[in-house]
Amino acid sequence: MTAVIKTLPTQEQPYARIAVIGGGAWGTALASVAASAGRTVRLFARDPETVAAINTRHVNDKYLDDIPLPASLTATDNLDDALADADAVLLVVPSRSVRAMAARIAGQIKDGTPVAVCTKGIEPKTGYLMSQVVAEEIPHVPVGTISGPTFARETAMGHPTAATVAFEFSHKDRLEPMHSPAARLALSMSTGFFKTYISDDLVGVEIGGAVKNVVAIGCGMMTGAGFAENTRAALITRGLDEMKVLPEALGGRRETVTGLAGTGDLTLTCSSQTSRNMSLGVQLGQGTPRAECFGGAPVVVEGEANAASVIDLARRVKVAMPICETVYSILHEGRDLNAAFADLWTQPIEAEPRAMELSLKNPAHASMTRLDGGAA
């Protein structure tokens, strides 16, 4: 009798060559991770001095101070060189620049080459997620994201970190998930200190990342105004609920937001002023005029711009997001911070969880709330 030999599934191979577009802190950190994982990495940066520093001294002085980078990581200020023969692309530019950069590189990316846009946000006016923006400009490639509770500096230093790699799954991907772009990119980025998880809920992952920045500004505002842990815990918890309802309305899954790209990212961002979003909120809560925040430096805060696009999208799909509405009204409508949060705290009494339909008129009103660190 002939023995039957079972053939085990072949382990899918990681992508060998990765192009990282964007030489800021997060782009450099991700490039460092990929190089540490054994990939051949080319990092595109606009600044010739940054390119020279990475190639000669293996540091990015401008964004990551004296953190040593892998010697195998090379940088270039030439997009053609960065993208040449790339098996995968990480697009790591500010959200306002994603469409323009995607259009710029579209003709240089081979058909089927996965692109992970590692930027959190929602495009103004269109309401598109960053992956949808890229997919519109580069329709011939699969588009996903890498997202999670990650500070660039800690990631580059090699502190244990975890993140989610999310792509939509085709029918073929579901039959052979180990061959999917999400699985292969997760494998490509995995090191002893950077642990990856895989998701097929691109909407849930991206919405979680965009909304948490707005909630973090709100947490910072209340912290800066003198409130402590009770207030922060309430904003984080109820903010998490807002992070669940928006992706659900757009075809995502609520449970995705309980993972790294939702709960994890929100907890990190609302717990440290290392986050620009939290830091901006704290400064505004302390009464610092916006023009004087960050010492007057022109610091890009993604949650500030995204507050408007998040609220626009929520209104279009008829989803209530009272915390994000409050932050938006302060940032973009000039509303008084104390009055805005007083109104938030005296909104109708509702059930928790939402499965229970209940809303009661709140006997408290804004005039009974004193936002000075104590009760009226």
Residues with a known catalytic role? 212
CB 114 within 8 A of CB 198: no
CB 112 within 8 A of CB 141: yes
And the tokens for 241?
């609920």
Sheet harboring 40-44: ordered strands across? Answer: 74-76, 40-44, 17-21, 88-91, 115-117, 143-147, 161-167, 194-199
Nearest to 79 by CA among 69, 93, 67: 93
